[in-house]
Amino acid sequence: MHDVFSWILTFSMLMLCYIYVIFPGVMYLLTLIPIYRSEKVQKYRSIAVVIPSHNEEKVIEEKIENHLKLEYIGKYKIYVLCDSCSDRTVALAKSYEEKFPEMLEVFEVEGGLGKTNAINQLVPRLKEDVIVFTDANVMLDSSALERVNIALDQDSVGGVAGQLTYVNAELGGAAESNGLYWKYEEVIKKGEAIYGSLMGADGSIFAIKTKYYRQLPTHVLDDFSTSMGVVAQGALFKFDDSIKAYEKGAESNSEEFSRKVRISNRSYNSYLNMRKEILSKLSLVELTKFYSHKVIRWYSFLFMISTLVSSTFLALMGNGFAVFLILGQAIFYLMAIIHHIDLLKPGTKIYKLGNIIYYFVMVNLAAMIGVVKSLRGEKISTWKKAESSR
């Protein structure tokens, strides 16, 4: 039994090290490779800026004002996609449609079937060459569309994701942790795109050439499925940090936890929906990136549990190294619990460390719940947004 538990412990620790240190480290090294980017473009494509919105009266005016001021030589049109809104979102958006009929159009979808369903209804009506998807609480840099057009200039490139910055990360708590996590994620994405494609975009800001859009099941994550769909069709999906977007992150840990459960469930459902296509159409390099960044990481909770269980049994058998590991894990998880019940003083170094540990544990707990729900056949099509991010 000792050998069995030793093997389980070694394997679990190596997997966690690979997921969170080795693979991200390799991606970081790739980002150090200097890349030449031409600023010349063959043409200025027409762009449809799609803003999926469900009860966004708090931010929709600021969002529209921001987008009306975008600097782009070519033609672009804003589509406010109102999905089963019961507040003033539609009325506010239509007031802008009346003022700027050539620049903005309101498209309403009823039925409460969720964001993916709403996008499915709108996209077939679009005539523009490029679709930019951006969340209602995300503001874009004035040059964003110009940078999107440059990034999509090559025929081989079918889509591009931009760089998101959380504007309230200095507040601490969930907002600060989410900001750090996102910087970590974007290093990986940037590294992935150096050689081939990044493995899945985020809905805050990404763009595709319209011809690559495919209708999606309503229970899948639209940004993940749309971006991976571009890759599955043989085109490249790039990351460009000159396409800048800004968002207020969730400030409540409970809101962030619920959001992570929803994202994990829909992401895993998206993976199950595309698994055969991914396995058959992605190259070995792309498959390695995809499974390293996405699938194996979704199962991190299994390696965390097996590390804890195997080291506990080995410690009981008198293994000194296992005793040391148990002590380390006890401190690690105790820090997460102490932070959760607000026993650490904000602003201190120990608080910031506890915040990072808590976020790590919370993300993996949310992933476990989301994946288990998916494996049980549960499909989340709609959700309650994080009000503190508005």
Cβ atoms of 18 and 299 closer than 8 Å: no
Q: Match 């608080």 to its residue by tokens.
A: 351
What sign does the dihedral 292-297-298-301 (CA atoms) show? positive
d(CA 341, CA 200) in angstroms, rounded, equals 34
Could you tell me the CA-to-CA distances from 357 to 66, 361, 371 in Å, in that order? 36, 6, 21
pLDDT tens digits, 35-76: 777 777 888 999 999 999 999 999 999 999 999 999 999 999
Task: Quote the crossing angle between the two packed helices 300-316 and 349-375, to the nearest 10°.
Answer: 110
Q: Match 């529209």 to its residue by tokens.
A: 64
Q: Along the 390 residues of the chain, how does pLDDT read in single tens digits?
A: 788 889 999 999 999 999 999 999 999 999 998 877 777 788 899 999 999 999 999 999 999 999 999 999 999 999 999 999 999 999 999 999 999 999 999 999 998 888 999 999 999 999 999 999 999 999 999 999 999 999 999 999 999 999 998 876 565 556 667 778 888 999 999 999 998 999 999 889 999 999 999 999 999 999 999 999 999 999 999 999 999 999 976 656 677 888 899 999 999 999 999 999 999 999 999 999 999 999 999 999 999 999 999 999 999 988 888 899 999 999 999 999 998 887 667 777 787 888 889 999 999 999 999 999 999 998 877 666 555 545
**3-state secondary structure at position 244:** strand
Q: What is the pLDDT of residue 169?
A: 59
Q: What is the pLDDT of residue 249?
A: 67
pTM of the model: 0.89
Q: What is the pLDDT of residue 252?
A: 66
Q: Which of 308, 323, 292, 303 is nearest to 11 (CA)?
A: 303
Give, in degrees to the nearest 5, the angle at Cα 301 between 181 and 1: 140
H-helix or E-strand spanning residue 95? helix 89-99
Long-range contacts of 26-31 (CB under 8 A, 24+ apart): 26/191, 27/187, 27/188, 27/190, 27/191, 27/192, 28/187, 28/191, 29/191, 30/190, 30/191, 30/192, 30/194, 30/195, 31/187, 31/190, 31/191, 31/194
d(CA 143, CA 140) in angstroms, rounded, equals 8
Average pLDDT, the chain: 91
H-helix or E-strand spanning residue 314? helix 300-316
Q: What is the pLDDT of residue 172?
A: 57
Domains of the chain: 47-252 (3.90.550.10)
Residue 170: how many CB atoms within 10 A of its CB? 9
Q: What is the pLDDT of residue 387?
A: 58
H-helix or E-strand spanning residue 243? strand 236-247
